[in-house]
Every structure is written in C-alpha cells, then in structure tokens.
C-alpha cells in the first residue's frame, strides 16, 4: 500500500484567521456576503468573536473604537465594492481621528477588474481606499498572507495610528498551500509601536519656555488619552500646577471635577494663556487653528508634543516642538520640571481662572436648575449627569449638535477612554457602532446620548445590540428634527410639504427597540429620565429612552452655527 502521506494542506481562508490570531487579534466586526461569509464562519469556528452588523459603516466604527481602547488595530471585514465603500467612511473617520483599524474587504479578480470586464461587484478598491487611509495593501498569494497582515497591523498602530485597507481578492482565499509552509509564513509583529524618545535638546527648550511662562496652560487631546500614559500625564499636570483643558475625548484623563481643570473657563484661558502645552491635540478647526479671536490678543508660544514632525507649524509657528510618543515626551517633561527648577504658576493666574470658573459654573447651575416642560437639553442632561457621576466605569457615547455640545460640558467624566464622540471630523452616525465597539471591548455598560437626527444614521444597529444582548442604553433627545423641530414648510406650491429639517412629530423611538426584544422607555421629565436611566442601567439589558425635548430648544448646528455659509446677497 502507498505509505507516502499526502502533505497536509492549508488555504487562504485558514491563513487569514491564523495570521490574525497569531497577532492576538480575537474580534472581527463585519457584515458577511460574497466572498467573506465562509471566512467569518471559520473565524467563529476557530474561536474568534465575530460581531455581525446591519451596515458596514457601523462595523467599521466599532472596529475603530476597539483600536482606540486597546492600541491594537480593530478589524472590520466587508464584502467587495458596495460593502467596502460603506466601510470606507469608517476607515476615513478612523484615520482622521488617529484610531488604529484595518478594513479587510473581499474583492473581485484583478484580471477582470483591470480590464474593466464587468465582474460581480467590480471596483478598484485598493486605489479607491488610498486617499482616505494611512496605508492600503493587496495580498495576491496565500504565502504572503502572513507578512501582509503583519504589515497592515504595523501600519495601523505605529507612528500616528490610523486606518489601513487590506484587499483580499476572492481567489486568494481559495488558494491552497502546504500546511507547514503556511505555518512558517505567519509573522508575529515585533514591537509594533516602538517608543520614540524626544531629543534632550528639544526637552530642554520646552522646559525653559515653560519656566518663563506667567500664564501657562496644558491642552490634552484624545491622543493623550490614547497614549495610556495616564499616571505620568496626571503627575505632569499636578506636579507642574498648570491649569489644563481636556478636549472632549480627553475628558476623564483627570476627573472633570479636578481643581486644575479650566474647562468651565475655556474661553478665558485660551485668550489669556501665554505658553500652551499641546499634548496629543492638533491645532485644527476644533482649536480655531491656534489663531484668531478664540486665542485673544496675548501672544502665544506653543510647546507641541506630536509623533509626527510634519504636524509642527501646521497652523501657527511652534516655539518648542517635542517629537516622540506622548508617553516618552511627558515622562521627559515630568522629570525635567523636577530638575529644571520649575515653579508653580502665579496665584494671579490660577486665581483668575478659579474666579472665572466659579462665575461660569454658577451661571450654568442656574440654567440647569430650571425645570421647563417640555424638557430642554440642560434639564435632561442634568438628570443623566447625576446618574453617571455614580458610575464612572460606564462608557459614554455622544453625538448630535446641541446634544453633543451641551453634553460635552454638562456630563463630567472621571476615567480615561470612557467618552467617545463625533471627534475631529464632527461626523454624525458614530453612535451605535461606537457603543457596540466600547461595550464588546470594555465589557462595561454604555450610555449613548444621541440627538434624534444623529441616532437615525445608525438606529438599525439596535437589532445588533439586542442580538448580542449588550448592556447599552441609548437615550434619544427627541426634538422632532435635525437640530430643532420648528422649521416651517417653505414650499409655495404645496401646503402639505415637510420642512427640510423636520421628523415625524412625537416619534416613539422606544418602540423600535421593543421590536427586537429590547426595553423601551418614554420620558418627558427629568424625574422620569432619572428613574428610566437608573432602571435601564441596573437591568444590563439593551434599552432605549425616548426623551421628549422642547422642539424650540437649542440652536441650528449647535455651537457651529457660524460655519453655515451666509450669502453676501442683500
């Protein structure tokens, strides 16, 4: 009898899963279909967690948040062409926000696509992705799957984190390879995020500038939260005594109730500071590009920590660039202020900030204490704030216009990497994807505070949330429209036309989640909000609170009203 053993074989399907697992990746967010359905089945069969979505953009957003929380790339898997395109929005958003994720999409055969012969879901995905992500690769041979996935992982997390596109032509998955050769082709990425230390002379320049400051300010961006250098960042703020301002996703690095937080005096400190230390915060539109009336007339000198040298001088001259990873740079500054004879800021500066904070907080408290009917953003958010203050472990997702702007200042955060919002791009639709990503990865409950229009972008994922029985409470701020719900019908030819910003009056979003087995609550007062939110969190079940908000409350575009173009026509 023939005693020669036919060599054991493997295939592209198995090598993709083996390569991900070989790099300690255990979760895939995606939406199946040709050619990845069997790949996702195999992932599950091999013990990976596959979370199936209803739209690829939300799977991608979940993957992005997984990356932000873990510093390992979140994985989103989609079908070719339209599925890839739906995921591309999330990939571009991840890249803009510096969240590490890999969008893996099946694709059509090169020989057909390149001759444009009209393949099923034909698209040149690799080139379509290039402008919107940090790197994009295609793997054509099974023996290259190991190095290809390693390359994608390193590209996603090293340097400035971001989105990577990985293109897998359908035939690649079907290719077979000697099992031993396949095993040897796997690559475990070594030191994917190497420390990048700042030059000593750069550190000294920054310390000398800081020492000369009369009104120093520290600005913490979401990069500072991502860095997971929490203890050193807190020590640098507290040991230097310098007031700090957290950007929205950096809230919680230090508790928002911290004495050195200048959030309640944001306008004052941005205008009055003379030396500003930027830690993981870029001078983009969120910071008025570092110039103009936001920054007042006091000349500013910036110390900027960034991993990328070309970020420096992007908008305004930077007096003391510190290039390196945030952990290494903050650690160097922390050591330096101890040895460089740094003294705490003048009491005149910290006292002025305290005074301004106190005045602003008193003014805000007055609005918060009002209890109008129907509820407005403030009265609803006050009830939510008082519940969340008792549960610092709960993740908060937040999007909308007024809902985003008011929640950012009213809902205090106490722990890092617990607030996920529209971020650098101001994108709507991140809600349910971010909530699922945060719940799956952190294992902690999520409260998603959503404008009703914002919720609409990802609302169908309520079914996903119920299917995986995730402890996510979605609160819809229901004011019957985009921004507000009070626009008139402007159509001179149709008295029954619908105003461009309006939604169904009195919509009951709480009934939506009941359709999938979740628990719905309908609230019209802060007291009802308090009761419903407490019950929903305690239940640990997928829940939705439909919060009726006064359609007249708020402003168009929230605080961005001024970005709406105004015609010069008189």
Provide the binding-site residues for ligand TZD, judged by CB under 6 A.
Answer: 400-403, 426-429, 451-454, 477, 479, 482-483, 554, 558
CA–CA gap between residue 407 and residue 392 (Å, rounded)? 15
What is the closest distance, in whole angstroms, from the C-beta atom of residue 427 to ligand TZD in the complex?
A: 5
- Give 161 or 558: the residue with its C-beta nearer to ligand TZD: 558
CA–CA gap between residue 556 and residue 564 (Å, rounded)? 9
Collapsed DSSP state (helix, strand, coil) of residue 355: helix
What is the closest distance, in whole angstroms, from the C-beta atom of residue 285 to ligand TZD in the complex?
A: 12
| Percent of the chain that is helix, strand, coil (3-state, to 5) | 45, 15, 35
What is the closest distance, in whole angstroms, from the C-beta atom of residue 395 to ligand TZD in the complex?
A: 19
What is the closest distance, in whole angstroms, from the C-beta atom of residue 477 to ligand TZD in the complex?
A: 6
CA–CA gap between residue 558 and residue 561 (Å, rounded)? 6
Collapsed DSSP state (helix, strand, coil) of residue 290: helix
What is the closest distance, in whole angstroms, from the C-beta atom of residue 534 to ligand TZD in the complex?
A: 23
What is the closest distance, in whole angstroms, from the C-beta atom of residue 244 to ligand TZD in the complex?
A: 27
Strands 320-323 and 301-306: parallel
Strands 176-178 and 9-11: antiparallel
- Give 30 or 429: the residue with its C-beta nearer to ligand TZD: 429
Determine the straight-line distance between the first and last CA of the chain, rounded to whole angstroms: 96
- Give 306 or 450: the residue with its C-beta nearer to ligand TZD: 450
- Give 177 or 482: the residue with its C-beta nearer to ligand TZD: 482
- Give 298 or 500: the residue with its C-beta nearer to ligand TZD: 500
What is the closest distance, in whole angstroms, from the C-beta atom of residue 383 to ligand TZD in the complex?
A: 16
What is the closest distance, in whole angstroms, from the C-beta atom of residue 565 to ligand TZD in the complex?
A: 14
DSSP letters spanning 356-401: HHHHHHHHHHHHHH---SSB-HHHHHHHHHHHHTT-TTSEEEEESS
Cβ–Cβ under 8 Å, residues 341 and 211: yes
Burial per residue of 475-506, b for 16 or more beta-carbon CB atoms within 10 angstroms, e otherwise = bbbbbbbbbbbbbeeeeeeeeeeebeebbeee
CA–CA gap between residue 459 and residue 466 (Å, rounded)? 12
Cis status of the peptide bond prior to 35, with omega within 30 of 0: yes
Q: Who contacts 45 (Cβ-Cβ below 8 Å, separation ≥6)? A: none
CA–CA gap between residue 254 and residue 256 (Å, rounded)? 6
- Give 425 or 516: the residue with its C-beta nearer to ligand TZD: 425
What is the closest distance, in whole angstroms, from the C-beta atom of residue 149 to ligand TZD in the complex?
A: 30
Using a 10 angstrom Cβ sphere, with 0-12 exposed, 13-18 middle and 19 or more buried, the burial of residue 96 is: middle
- Give 34 or 507: the residue with its C-beta nearer to ligand TZD: 507
- Give 43 or 482: the residue with its C-beta nearer to ligand TZD: 482
Cβ–Cβ under 8 Å, residues 73 and 162: no
- Give 12 or 429: the residue with its C-beta nearer to ligand TZD: 429
CA–CA gap between residue 457 and residue 89 (Å, rounded)? 13
What is the closest distance, in whole angstroms, from the C-beta atom of residue 559 to ligand TZD in the complex?
A: 10
Q: Who contacts 484 (Cβ-Cβ below 8 Å, separation ≥6)? A: 501, 551, 552, 553, 554, 555, 556
- Give 167 or 450: the residue with its C-beta nearer to ligand TZD: 450
- Give 137 or 477: the residue with its C-beta nearer to ligand TZD: 477
What is the closest distance, in whole angstroms, from the C-beta atom of residue 239 to ligand TZD in the complex?
A: 39
Nearest residue relative to ligand TZD (C-beta): 451
- Give 192 or 431: the residue with its C-beta nearer to ligand TZD: 431
Strands 419-421 and 446-451: unpaired
DSSP letters spanning 467-511: HTT--EEEEEEE-SBSS-S-PPP--TT-TTPPPTTB--TT--HHH
What is the closest distance, in whole angstroms, from the C-beta atom of residue 332 to ligand TZD in the complex?
A: 38
């Amino acid at each position: 009898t023939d005693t020669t053993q036919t060599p054991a074989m493997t295939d592209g399907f198995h090598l993709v899963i083996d390569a991900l697992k070989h790099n300690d990746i255990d979760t895939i967010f995606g939406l199946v279909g040709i050619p990845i359905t069997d790949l996702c089945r195999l992932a599950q069969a091999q013990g990976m967690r596959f979370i199936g979505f209803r739209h690829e953009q939300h799977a991608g957003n979940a993957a992005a948040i997984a990356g932000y929380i873990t510093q390992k790339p979140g994985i989103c898997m989609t079908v070719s062409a339209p599925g890839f395109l739906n995921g591309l929005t999330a990939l571009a958003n991840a890249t803009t926000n510096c969240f590490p994720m890999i969008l893996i999409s099946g694709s059509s055969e090169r020989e057909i696509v390149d001759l444009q012969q009209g393949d099923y879901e034909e698209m040149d995905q690799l080139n379509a992705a290039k402008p919107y992500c940090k790197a994009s690769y295609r793997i054509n041979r099974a023996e290259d799957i190991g190095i290809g996935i390693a390359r994608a992982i390193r590209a996603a997390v090293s340097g400035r984190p971001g989105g990577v596109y990985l293109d897998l032509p359908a035939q690649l998955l079907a290719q077979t390879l000697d099992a031993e050769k396949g095993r040897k082709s796997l690559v475990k990425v070594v030191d994917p995020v190497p420390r990048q230390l700042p030059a000593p002379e750069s550190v000294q320049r920054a310390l000398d500038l800081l020492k000369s400051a009369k009104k120093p300010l520290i600005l913490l961006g979401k990069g500072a939260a991502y860095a997971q250098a929490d203890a050193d960042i807190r020590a640098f703020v507290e040991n230097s005594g310098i007031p700090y301002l957290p950007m929205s996703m950096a809230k919680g690095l230090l508790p928002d109730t911290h004495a050195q937080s200048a959030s309640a005096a944001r306008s004052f400190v941005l205008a009055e500071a003379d030396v500003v230390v930027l830690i993981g915060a870029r001078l983009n539109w969120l910071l008025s590009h570092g110039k103009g009336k936001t920054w007042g007339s006091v000349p500013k000198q910036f110390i900027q920590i960034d991993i990328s040298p070309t970020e420096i001088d992007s908008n305004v001259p930077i007096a003391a660039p510190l290039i390196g990873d945030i952990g290494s740079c903050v650690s160097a500054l922390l050591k330096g202020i101890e040895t460089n004879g740094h003294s705490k800021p003048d009491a005149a500066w910290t006292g002025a900030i305290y005074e301004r904070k106190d005045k602003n907080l008193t003014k805000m408290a007055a609005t918060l204490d009002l209890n109008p009917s129907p509820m407005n953003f403030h009265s609803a958010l006050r009830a939510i704030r008082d519940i969340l203050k008792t549960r610092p472990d709960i993740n908060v997702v937040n999007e909308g216009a007024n809902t985003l702007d008011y929640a950012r200042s009213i809902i205090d955060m106490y722990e890092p990497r617990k607030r996920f919002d529209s971020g650098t791009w101001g994108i709507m639709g991140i809600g349910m994807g971010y909530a699922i990503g945060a719940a799956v990865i952190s294992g902690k409950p999520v409260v998603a505070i959503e404008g009703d229009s914002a919720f609409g972008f990802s609302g169908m994922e309520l079914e996903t949330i119920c299917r995986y029985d995730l402890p996510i409470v979605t609160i819809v701020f229901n004011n019957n429209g985009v921004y507000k719900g009070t626009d008139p019908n402007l159509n001179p030819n149709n008295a029954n036309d619908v105003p461009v910003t309006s939604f169904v009056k009195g919509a009951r979003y709480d009934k939506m989640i009941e359709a999938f087995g979740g628990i719905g609550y309908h609230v019209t007062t802060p007291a009802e909000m308090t009761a419903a939110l407490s019950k929903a969190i305690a239940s640990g079940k997928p829940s939705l609170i439909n919060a009726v908000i006064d359609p007249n409350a708020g402003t168009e575009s929230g605080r961005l009203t001024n970005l709406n173009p105004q015609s010069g026509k008189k």
